[in-house]
Each structure stands twice: as C-alpha cells, then as structure tokens.
Structure 1
C-alpha cells in the first residue's frame, strides 16, 4: 500500500502523533483528530521512564516492543530536536530497584534477554544516590535506562508534524462514531462534521473501547487512573531513578522530581485526590527523606488505556476494511511508542515489519 492515501487518525497522544509522523514522512496524507488538545491526556501525565517498571513481569510481546523502542529513542529525540528545536530530553540516568520480592526472576530475565541488569550492594546504591532513604536492604541496577520529558516530546512531535506538507491537525474535534458502508469504514463523524479517508486509525488511548462500541465491537481497553506529584529541587539533587514498592522517583535535568503513581479503577474520572497526594508524599519521603522539606509544585491525574496483559492492539480490524488500531498500551505508551508506530507504519505501507506483528493483531483479540 505504498500509493498515497488519506489516513484519518483518531487521537492526538504520543501514539497518534508518532503514527502520523511516520505515515506523513512516508508520503501519506494525514488528518489527525483530537478531542481536546494534542498530547494532553496520558501522554502528558505519565512519568516517561523508557522501560516498563518491572520489565521481567511482562510477556515477550511487550518486551519485543520495549527493547526496540529503548534502542531507538535517542535517535528519535535527536531527529526531532534537529527538526524542531524542541528537545524531548531523553535523559539516561539508570534505575535502581530496591527490595524486590522477585529479584531472582529479574536477574534471570536480564541474563536471558542480555540486558545490563545486575545485583549491587545497597552501599553502592547509597554512594550513587546519596539522598536515598535508609530503609532498604537490597538493590538491583540497570545503567542504560533513560526517561523522556513527555510534555516536551509531545511539543516536539506537534512541531515536526506542522512542518510536514501533507498533515492536517484538528484539535477540539470530538469523534462520535464511524462512517460505515457494509464491511468498510470510510471515515468518522465528528463535531466538525464528516471526515472521510481511505484508512481510519483508532489511537484514542483510554477512549478507544468506547468508540468501537458504536461498531458493535468489544475492545477490552478501559481507563485506569494514575496520579503523580512533582517536586522542584536543585539540578544535581537526584542523579538516578529509584523504584520501590511500585512507586518511583524520576529526575529531570532541571531538578524537577516526579513521584508516581497510583493505579485506580475510577472510570473516566481524573480528579486528583487528597488521599493520593498523602500516599504519594509518603512514598516520596520513604524513597528520599529530604523531600519532606521540599514543596509539592504539581499534582495531577491521567487515564491509562488499560488492556489485558498490557499488550497493545496494532493492525487492521478483521471484517471492517479501512479500520486500524494502534491503542491499548496501558502503562507503557511512552515506552512502546517508537516501536508500535514503526510496526504500524510497516503494516499499513506493506513493508517488512520490524518485529513479528502477530501478538498485537486485533484479529482474535476483539
């Protein structure tokens, strides 16, 4: 399918933006539709660690996407920075996991997958991260883990798309349903009227399942709320990411420290709560006691697109020609975006896929 077509993309998060960038860079006409402003939902709200929190707990399907993306992120960031002047700030700090229950499984996974993860003495963790709390006894470390400053990544992608000739972005454009003729999807119904295309891509994150209901399809993607807090410290305060008991601290280059995150099944409610604020502050102080004296400068919530086993849906929808999915990335949308969107472009453009697409195919899963 290398001929030029009009592709309508529903959803302007990192997945939708990067899908649009890959397709437009390959010569396709792209119309991107976003119900609010691009990148303002989970793409903005997440922490941006370029690794699953516990990579050894995932299936090979998630691992394959994660490894490809981790290796590709630095060059993606360089390309976007060179094109737009907006630096997504891929910041390689390494990551310490503390007091893991499944440390043996983690180390076995690292050996099997040849990832640079190893057990270290807790004193080495304290030497590397002097502000680390004293209540921990064991640590494992992976040196090459980075984080990306996700709001800057979104800004950079939007600027890169604005510079491409065959891209139209409609913000404040809510999609209410699909235009269907028999077994073919021809476009979408929106608050701006009908928008038609040769292909329609659903990349609407937590809202993807709701939209597919209008076609009588059940997609098991549901919103999972996550809350985060933000501190501002000196730029050299925290040198490395640290993670314990499911909570993490992520340093940005300018001294901002993100602490996350909760996992809540509250439907589409993204109201930040005082109980989550207190819980996150307690985790922050356990990880880094000096944060007890720091001021919380931000507190927000986002909605992850929860999916079974966190395996995204990438590819055409069987029985409905013209309809494609790139959604359901759950906790790892930012991690998996480069690989997911490259694989998606391979499939739509009829190219050799970067990895085996079978585990992500919507067929048999919806």
Structure 2
C-alpha cells in the first residue's frame, strides 16, 4: 500500500485528487502556495460543459461526459457530509447564431447528447430577457453549472474532516527531493516533505515546477477575466452563449459574464479594457443589465495546454512523480473524471476510460 502521497496544488483538481485517494492510502499531504482553491478554480464560471464541446478532441469529450453524469451525485455527497452545498444548478444552455451549428448538431447526433436546434421564438419565450437580433439557437438540456467557490469550500471541509489528510496552505514547493531517478518528496522553505508518490496538480504553475527537473511541460498561463451582477433570483432561467461570451445564472440571482482569453504570462490584474468589453457583451446578451453595475470583476489564470488535453499519469523517467494538470479551460468540467482516472492509475485499478490520450509519455 502507498503510505504517503504529497499533492502539489490545491485547486479543484488537487482537492478532488486528495479526496479520491484518502480512503486508499495511509496519508495524503496537500500543499498550496496560497489558500486552497483560490486561483482558477475560484475564478472560473463553472459551466459543467466545454463551451463548444464539438470543437474538442474525443479525449476531452470522454472526460467531459463522465464528469457531467457524475456531478449531481458529487454535489449531493459533499453537501450531505459538509453542509456546504456546491450548488450544481441544472439550467440548460442556449448557443446563439453559431457559425458551426451544423457541426454541433452532427456531433450531438454522433455522441448521443441532448442538443438540438430550436426555433428562435422558442428561445426568446424561454429566456425573455435575451437581447434582440439573434436569428438562430441550439439548446442542450441537462447542462448544469457548479458554484465553484462553494465547491472548493465543500471539498476543503470534506478533507479537513479526514484524519489522514493534512492541508498545508501558504506552503510553496520549490523543487523535488530525489534519489537518482526516483522522486522521494518535495522541497519547501521550511524543509523537505517525504513521499512515496508526488502528484503535480499546480494548474498554470505546473510547467514551472516540472522545469526544475529539466522537463518541458507545455502548460502555460492563459488569463481570463469575468464580471458579476446581482439580479432577481428568477432573472435568467438558462445559461446563454453568443459571440464567445456567456452568461451564467446562480440560484440566488447572481449572473456571471465571461470571459476573456489573454496570453500575458502570470499577470492576473483585472483591466479596464476587459471590464468595458465584458459589460458590452453582458448588455448584448441581456439588455436589462445596461442599468446595472457589476458587483465584482476579477481575473484568473487557466493552465493552457495543447488541444486542452490534460496530462494524467506517471512522468516517464522519474519514478514516483505523477501529473494531473493542464486542463486549460475545462478544469471544473473535467475534474471528477480526471481525478477518478488518476486514482485508478495510481492505485493500479481498471481505469474508467482509456488513459492513453492523457499519458505524459511522449507529450513532454
């Protein structure tokens, strides 16, 4: 039995990895350079679907489908055990005036997903606050959003209740301990932490950490900015998406509008230009927001990766070092499947899906 696993990075991927491993190993130590769940896991919108699922590879689709089916029971389990409801909120999603609508419908037919073209009048009847001028709509029922700050709060509470899990916040990892080509732990400012297995789940920072071993992991920060409004609880009954921007309703009437896609390194300062662009998109989608002032505006850093396919598995050439990172725009979407697949691989169980597309071997 694996005795001690050290997980580097406490976003939703790291937290759920720890949650899945805790019953199977003697001890889990999760380290984060700040507070857990405060980077991209907190900053994202939480739509439990890739924004344009038909544009992704089958590798992303496989993880997304498994996760979408699993999220409701994950939310219920966490709520029951912690009292913190992640609010998995099923609203469905309307895409408006898509250029590649035919491809979307063909994908849905091929994958058996509940996405279909609807008359635009039907979309306006379902979402009366929708902006005028849209001519076409497709709709997928069953699409949920998860209130991601509450999800990470719930996962943290679940881990704190487990006697064999240690959360080390404000604990920056500076490198890896090693004996020859075996990773034996991690290095921190206050000393080394020994481990049988080290798991890198550090999001946009994963590439920098793996670079300390001379490995090139093509994961880079991609900035995204969001704004938040507060409306009546029944203001927006469904998620809507047009021209690359979306509006997401929470159960209490908060409306998230996002997001930008910016390649500017590790700078995550919100900008005035992005604020004005997001407000314009908000008004285009939902004109009633013209008279509202955003109650919040923030930015986060996504872990950009080639084709958005995450790295899940052991690092070749370094025994004991494992990856679960590089989920790009879909960390919250893919987390349940990614973390279940990861646990299967680390523990030597039959994997839930074919693990080969995510294997680090040949991709570093």
String of CA shifts for 1:24-61, please: whole Å, max 9, x gaps: 02244100000000000000000000000000000000
In structure 2, the residue matched to 1:127 is 125
User: Which of residues 339, 354, 357 is equivalent to 1:356?
Assistant: 354
What is residue 340 of structure 1 aligned with on the other side?
338
Residue in 2 that maps onto 1:65: 63
1:17 aligns with 15
Tell me the residue number matched to 1:174. Answer: 172
5+ residue gaps, structure 2, are none
CA distance in 1, matches of 2:27, 2:174: 22
Paired position in structure 2 for 1:236: 234
Picking from 304, 311, 314, the partner of 2:312 is 314
C-alpha distance in structure 1 between counterparts of 2:306 and 2:269, whole Å: 25
Q: Distance in 2 between matches of 1:17 and 1:122?
A: 41
User: Aligned residue for 1:247?
Assistant: 245
* Partner SS for 1:296: coil
1:305 equivalent to 2:311? Answer no
The within-5 A match list for 1:278-297 is 278-297=276-295
Corresponding position of 1:188: 186
Displacement of 1:5 after TM fit? 1.5
- Give the equivalent residue in structure 2 for 1:327: 325
The match for 1:217 among 187, 191, 215 is 215
Q: CA deviation at 1:185?
A: 0.5
Count of matched residue positions in the alignment of Structure 1 and Structure 2: 364
1:200 corresponding residue in structure 2 = 198
- Alpha-carbon distance in structure 1 between the residues aligned to 2:7 and 2:296: 31
Q: Is the 8 A contact 1:96 1:139 kept in 2?
A: yes
**How far apart in 1 are the matches of 2:80 and 2:224?**
33
Question: Residue 162 of structure 1 aligns with which residue?
Answer: 160
* Greater mean alpha carbon deviation, residues 276-285 or residues 23-32: 23-32
| Aligned-partner SS, 2:209 | helix
1:50 matches 2:44: no
Aligned partners of 1:13 and 1:38 also within 8 Å: yes
- Contact 2:37/2:152, CA 8 A, preserved across alignment: yes
> Offset at 1:165?
1.1
Check whether the contact 2:84–2:154 (CA below 8 A) recurs between aligned residues: yes
Secondary structure, aligned partner of 2:295 = strand
Q: Secondary structure at the match of 1:25?
A: coil
CA drift at 1:192: 2.5
- Asked whether 1:105 is paired with 2:103, we answer yes
Cα root mean square deviation, aligned: 0.6
1:170 and 1:335 map into 2 onto residues whose CA distance is 25
Q: In 2, distance between residues paired with 1:29 and 1:262?
A: 39
The CA distance in 2 between the partners of 1:263 and 1:130, in whole Å, is 29
Q: Contact 2:5–2:25 at 8 Å: present in 1 too?
A: no
Distance 2:288 2:338 in 1: 39
CA distance, structure 1, for counterparts of residue 13 and residue 320 of structure 2: 19
Runs of 4 or more consecutive aligned structure 1 residues displaced over 4 Å after TM superposition: none
Contact 1:135 1:286 in 2 (8 A): no
What is the alpha-carbon distance in structure 1 between the residues aligned to residue 211 and residue 152 of structure 2? 28
2-side partners of 1:7 and 1:63: how far apart? 29
Supply the distance in 1 between the matched residues of 2:107 and 2:101 (Cα, whole angstroms): 10
1:146 and 1:257 map into 2 onto residues whose CA distance is 14
Question: In 1, Cα distance between the equivalents of 2:211 and 2:32?
Answer: 19
Q: Output the CA distance in 2 between the equivalents of 1:148 and 1:28.
A: 31
- 1:306-340 Cα offsets, whole Å, 9 max, x none, are 00000000000011000000000000000000000
Unpaired stretches in structure 1, ≥5 consecutive residues: none
TM-score of the superposed pair, with normalisation by structure 1: 0.99
